[in-house]
Structure 1
Amino acid sequence: MYLLNKIPLIQNIKNVIKQQKRYNVHQDHFEVERKFKFDTSKVILLEKNCGKKLFDKVTFLSEKSFTDVYYDNHLENYPLTTKDIWLRNRDDKWECKTPVGLTASMDSYHELNDINIIKEFLEKKLDNNQRRSEDIRYNDDEFKDFLLKNYNLVPFCTITTRRRNYLLNDKFTMVLDTTDFGHSVGEIELIVESQDKIQDAERRIASFMKEYDWFFETEGVVMGKLLAYISRFNKKQWEHMENSNVLKKKLFPETLDNVLTNGQKHQTQ
């Protein structure tokens, strides 16, 4: 294992946690992410920083396991996932990732993690009458009852993930995930505080991944763990996602070269 100086490591972890807390408090951040395949034999090269092209800095942050339970309405043909909305309970904490939808080059989401903000979003998204119910006092069982009684939202999958977290070049968050059903996938992420910074973040991610393409494999279909699960275990849901065109964007995003080319065109206009 690549040994790092303990003081910088602790400081880096504190900086990442501080940044995440700041965004979570203000409820106004956007995740820009690009998935990739990775060769497990190259992980040790990454951690020792002795690959084909050296990173400026590799910081291993943590390793953890967590369990996600995802929710949707089976009877109404999955009104959330067919719109790229992902409602989950992660180790008893509720989160809802809603698509920004500004570009087709990468996934970009606004993450909601307050129960009443999530409830308000669902009321607007799923209820034509847009009725307003009473606030929920952060009670897990009460929120589950609300989801079931009002929108018939029930679990459609449960996934346990072992995740390794890294900070690369002091800028890019990277996770390497391995699931309990045998699927592995990586993800590079940047967090920005406004929508007008999303495209710039996409270009930065694309440039970074191309520079270190010895580790990041983006050729062909790169399937995230949720899509891998649905493709294996829920044919009906997969078909509805195909019909909604969500799969086309997620499985066949713009190439990294196109992201950079389009970014150059945008800058010169």
Structure 2
Amino acid sequence: MMNLYLKNIIKRSVLYIKNVIGQQRFYTDTQKNHFEVERKFKFDPSKVNLLEANRGKKPFDKVMFLSEKSFTDIYYDNLLDYPLTTNDIWLRQRDDKWECKTPVNLTASMDSYHELENTTLIKNFLDEKLKNNQAIKRQSENIPYYENKSFKEFLFKNYKLEPFCTITTQRRSYLINNKFTMVLDTADFGHSVGEIELIVESTDKVQDAEKRIAMFMKEHDWFFETEGVVMGKLMAYISRFNQNQWECMEKSNVVKRKLFPETLENIVTKT
């Protein structure tokens, strides 16, 4: 009897601690407000050694190698009409962590996103975004903050969202000049792409960030290849393996905007 009593006490204590942790994470996420401004580029793998030794045609002020890692992304949408990806919204499970990148759309020349990392915030966003979608007949039910493992079932039950692709990426990350984050990605289906990113704390700093990125990339154009079409991993995957989704994204103008952004020259010279 005592063992059963102790087990119940322990069980309730564990649930309480999980709930407290979940609430703390929720509070942190709601207070954390940041926006990603990023520009993709092609790169020559033979120049990576020059990058890391900082011996390129025009050296950087500082190159710091941060890490090399592998991760797997599973992306979700409604496979009938793709209401997320046709609006440049990217819901994914990266290993065991849920993330939803929502467009800020403050610049026509670069990608700018606000990232949601809490399942409750993601749920609230999806409720609002998909409320007029035929797949959503009612507002979704609540889900505890900490039950990430059950979130997959929750997504399908409430929004009819299911995986449309799984990509494993090998990533090398760098900090350049103590301000620009840069990653070089190679996906498991044979596509490579780089990305320069700045994170800002408010929307009124987004356009300044894109100009700083453009000037930086033009100054070091020996490494950053931006001529022609630069296709990110997801766009490359969808174009190769899901023609229906690609056509839906073309109709919504997402393909045109992402593959043919404003040139770096125009960004630098505009006032």
Q: Structure 2-normalised TM-score?
A: 0.86
Q: Secondary structure at the match of 1:149?
A: helix
Q: CA deviation at 1:25?
A: 7.2
Distance 1:205 1:260 in 2: 9
Could you say which structure has the larger radius of gyration?
2
Could you report, residue by residue, the CA deviation over 1:44-100 in whole angstroms, capped at 9, with x for unpaired residues?
A: 00001111001100000000000000000012x100000000000001100000000
Distance 2:201 2:91 in 1: 21
Q: CA deviation at 1:210?
A: 0.3
What is aligned with 1:215? 223
What is aligned with 1:31? 36
8 Å contact from structure 1 (residues 66, 160) kept in 2: yes
8 Å contact from structure 2 (residues 68, 172) kept in 1: yes
Could you report, residue by residue, the CA deviation over 1:15-66 in whole angstroms, capped at 9, with x for unpaired residues?
A: xxxxxxxx96733100000000000000000001111001100000000000
Q: Which runs of 4+ in 1 moved over 6 A?
A: none
Question: How do residues 109-124 of structure 1 correspond to structure 2 at under 5 angstroms?
Answer: 109-124=113-128
What is aligned with 1:71? 76
Amino acid of the structure 2 residue aligned with 1:61: L
8 Å contact from structure 1 (residues 116, 136) kept in 2: yes
Distance 2:254 2:175 in 1: 30
What is aligned with 1:152? 160
Correspondent of 2:65 among 60, 67, 79:
60
What is aligned with 1:87? 91
What is aligned with 2:12? none
Q: CA deviation at 1:135?
A: 3.5
Distance 1:258-1:24 versus aligned 2 partners, 3 A rule: farther
Q: Secondary structure at the match of 2:225?
A: coil
Q: CA deviation at 1:102?
A: 1.3
Q: Does residue 1:51 correspond to 2:56, yes or no?
A: yes
8 Å contact from structure 1 (residues 67, 90) kept in 2: yes
What is aligned with 1:100? 104
Distance 1:141 1:160 in 2: 20
Q: Structure 1-normalised TM-score?
A: 0.87
Distance 2:166 2:185 in 1: 15
Correspondent of 2:148 among 120, 140, 145:
140
> Cα RMSD (Å) of the superposition?
1.4
Could you report, residue by residue, the CA deviation over 1:117-154 in whole angstroms, capped at 9, with x for unpaired residues?
A: 00000000001377363243321232112110111100
8 Å contact from structure 1 (residues 136, 143) kept in 2: no
Correspondent of 1:242 among 236, 250, 253:
250
8 Å contact from structure 2 (residues 29, 118) kept in 1: no
Distance 1:110 1:74 in 2: 24
Identity %: 73
Q: Secondary structure at the match of 2:222?
A: coil
Q: Secondary structure at the match of 1:66?
A: strand
Q: Secondary structure at the match of 2:199?
A: strand
Question: How do residues 9-20 of structure 1 correspond to structure 2 at under 5 angstroms?
Answer: none
Runs of 5+ consecutive residues of structure 1 not aligned to the other structure: 1-22
Amino acid of the structure 1 residue aligned with 2:63: V
8 Å contact from structure 2 (residues 118, 145) kept in 1: no
8 Å contact from structure 1 (residues 124, 130) kept in 2: no
Distance 1:157-1:31 versus aligned 2 partners, 3 A rule: same
